[in-house]
Structure 1
């Protein structure tokens, strides 16, 4: 995701410097049209807006800890990761004290959508910080939502993800019921893909569900991570989410079967292939 954002912003005329814990080669950076910083201190020195695209909360805290030990006065730090709303809220006072501002702007969509500027952005932060980030956001997204204060963007992304998790669980259950009732999976998918229930997400992953491709848009392991973030937030707010519990169990079962790095729709494909 970070590479896709770097490519998109560079192609849109921004001067982009990148840093990654995987240490991209100068050749890869040149191909993306960006410069490479040897460390976070150098990245901060070269940047006005720092965009984080990280796997999980542990990674976000690790990078924020490192940034807090650099010169970040006047910097705007934008976290696009899918994490709990509390992650940035808990760090706001620290970074404000260092003269930096925080914004959460998780992304709805995959790297291919980033490259075409077609993702959604759910932004949480002050109006001033939102407007500062807006020119960058407009290069990345055609669906920009300033949701509210810091952390509210993360909350909106988790709510959005819940709908998708429920979609895959419902599709799995529809296949299970339909097959027990005597319908082949291929016919069920044919019917559903042309019905009002057919969302763009379902249609885009039909090739995966039908076993026509092994392409990975987002892995099962990532779906598990996101579902656990939703689960934990719900628990902290005393909200019961049975659909998410069922979805998480299904994704965990797919991972246990050896499909952790396969596309998330593999969870449904395993049922479709069991005719």
Structure 2
């Protein structure tokens, strides 16, 4: 087992962050955490040996690596602003959020002036995989920084890929989420058509499951439609809408067409506008909104 030489700070102990932080603790990394509203994951980690601080600024001097697992780029910017004054030279900020790559690159350039390093390391997987240490990570960093982070990532990730330099991880994550959230929009519309055409969800699933169109995303997505399990795939509709907006913006800046990407974005925007903006309104609930557009329910 490799000797632990890093001290970890962590901000963003939500659905994914708690599992990552727990695995870091279990592998012997000293952990300092900051939490605002949701006390349950913070209390759990403190009970496992983490140290809690009352402000983000207090976290900075205690860490050689600071993980951020936040909602969006605005939240990342806010936390980085609070950290800036206390960060030591050669500290690495690791942004595991799904963020706007242009903001990522700008923050990295600003922090580099004071010797602070940056890595965008968005995640692939589910909260359950975060708990078991089986996430995937797509990192944007120099080869040197990636080599330093690799053993830390290995405590909670099963697949670790250096995509390229800073910003490339977030660019790839947006493309990854376009595919997965595109599946979600496709499944939602297909299920709405299925029901309105007089077929059942069970008939639909009996053909798709086990076919070439089956996949892990399909299986967790269908947990709600088939079994009524609202927690089968815990990724919020509001986060999906945010990610697809970021993807569309990135494509526009690159001069790439967004015929499908904009349609997918609008699907999630529709659901959020119709009331699916809460913390427990998840992607598998999208068929409910697709049905309501034409009248009816899943």
Work out the CA distance in 2 between the residues paired with 1:213 and 1:179: 19
The answer to whether structure 1 residue 129 and structure 2 residue 129 are counterparts is no
**Alignment check: 8 A CA contact 1:208 1:269 kept:** no
**Per-residue deviation, residues 232-255 of structure 1 (Å, max 9, x unmatched):** 111111212222222222222222
Q: 2:34 aligns with which of 6, 16, 19?
A: 19
TM-score (norm 1): 0.92
Q: Secondary structure at the match of 2:155?
A: helix
- For residue 40 of structure 1, report the CA deviation from its aligned partner: 2.6
For structure 2, list consecutive stretches of 5 or more residues without a partner in the other structure.
1-15
Work out the CA distance in 1 between the residues paired with 2:157 and 2:165: 20
Q: Secondary structure at the match of 1:265?
A: helix
Work out the CA distance in 2 between the residues paired with 1:27 and 1:59: 22
Work out the CA distance in 2 between the residues paired with 1:166 and 1:107: 18
- For residue 21 of structure 1, report the CA deviation from its aligned partner: 3.5
**Per-residue deviation, residues 111-134 of structure 1 (Å, max 9, x unmatched):** 221111111100001001001111
Indicate the residue corresponding to 2:102 in structure 1: 86
- For residue 271 of structure 1, report the CA deviation from its aligned partner: 4.6
**Shift in alpha-carbon separation, 1:185–1:117, aligned structure 2, 3 A:** same
Which piece of structure 1 moves more, 79-88 or 262-271? Answer: 262-271
Q: How does 1:177-192 map to 2 (within 5 A)?
A: 177-179=193-195, 181-192=197-208
- For residue 49 of structure 1, report the CA deviation from its aligned partner: 0.7
Work out the CA distance in 2 between the residues paired with 1:265 and 1:47: 37
Indicate the residue corresponding to 1:266 in structure 2: 285
Q: How does 1:83-232 map to 2 (within 5 A)?
A: 83-179=99-195, 181-210=197-226, 212-215=228-231, 217-232=234-249
Work out the CA distance in 2 between the residues paired with 1:31 and 1:15: 13
**Per-residue deviation, residues 143-165 of structure 1 (Å, max 9, x unmatched):** 11100111101111111101111
- For residue 135 of structure 1, report the CA deviation from its aligned partner: 0.9
Q: 2:266 aligns with which of 231, 239, 249?
A: 249
**Alignment check: 8 A CA contact 2:98 2:174 kept:** yes
Q: How does 1:3-18 map to 2 (within 5 A)?
A: 3-18=18-33
Which piece of structure 1 moves more, 162-171 or 64-73? Answer: 64-73
Q: Secondary structure at the match of 1:99?
A: coil
Work out the CA distance in 2 between the residues paired with 1:93 and 1:160: 25
**Alignment check: 8 A CA contact 1:79 1:104 kept:** yes
TM-score (norm 2): 0.85
- For residue 182 of structure 1, report the CA deviation from its aligned partner: 4.5
**Alignment check: 8 A CA contact 1:19 1:40 kept:** yes
For structure 1, list consecutive stretches of 5 or more residues without a partner in the other structure.
none
Which piece of structure 1 moves more, 119-128 or 32-41? Answer: 32-41
User: RMSD of the TM alignment (CA)?
Assistant: 2.1
